Amino acid sequence: MKLFKRFHIPHSKKVTVAAAVAVGLALCLLCMVPRAAMAAATQRDLPIYCVQKDSKVCSLTFDAAWGNEDTQQLIDILGKYNIKATFFVVGEWVDKYPESVKALHDAGHEIMNHSDNHPYFTKLSAEQIKTQLNTCNEKIAAITGVTPILFRPPYGDYNDSVVATVRECGMYCIQWDVDSLDWKDPTPDQICQRVLKRVQPGSIVLFHNAAKNTPAALPSVIEGLIQQGYSMVPVSQLILRDNFTMDHTGRQIPGQN
């Protein structure tokens, strides 16, 4: 038994059907092109927000741009627990407080780049970005003898061009995945609870120098992290230098050799 019947289509109709099929295929292809272009456009060049880690390790970071009233206090607290942190400092802050930069370095903390005068980097040209990076690096190196390899954009402000230009300068662009919000002056307990609830293996935690309640919160944060089984290392020891990929959240993922 034949399951299908053959139908005779007049030649003129065959041409019409063929044309309709061709038009349909063309429309499908036209629809696919914008989607592919859109997918490519959404693949942003991201800074490092955190790192995929199997062990409980994280980094404490401090942005220093304005005041200096608590720097020694932070050094003393971190020293009590033998924790080494990363301080992202602005070049103008280095100019004002070179003795604090030296004290941080002598205490074993790493001093990294937070721009020369804290502008919005997305408003700068590539050459202006490079000038900001190089000027701040030179100021830090003049005191510590170490040229920074990490950069944190002021205000967390970046785009693809900023990240690419930082990379061209041989540096890694660093953000954070745990924000203490200490600059909003929450209570010490609020700062502590916020950090401890959000931290995960490979996290980069953001604090600020000269924030009102950070020194009061810091011991509880450190003790809480230790109780959770975490060790704390500078960011340069946390991140992957090569053989990695980045997911859409800015998490570094180890590559496969």
Q: Is 42 exposed, middle or buried (0-12, 13-18, 19+ CB in 10 A)?
A: exposed
Sort strands 244-246 and 251-254 into parallel, antiparallel or unpaired: antiparallel
**CA geometry: angle at 48 spanning 236 and 35, to 5°?**
155
Runs of H (alpha helix) within 42-125 = 71-80, 91-96, 98-106
Chain-centre distance for alpha carbon 216: 26
d(CA 192, CA 180): 8
Residues marked as catalytic: 63, 208
Strand partners, 60: 205
**For residues 163 and 45, is the Cβ–Cβ distance under 8 A?**
yes
d(CA 78, CA 86): 11
Name the residue with tokens 């989607």: 35
d(CA 253, CA 213): 34
- Of 210, 211, 175, the C-alpha closest to 190 is 211
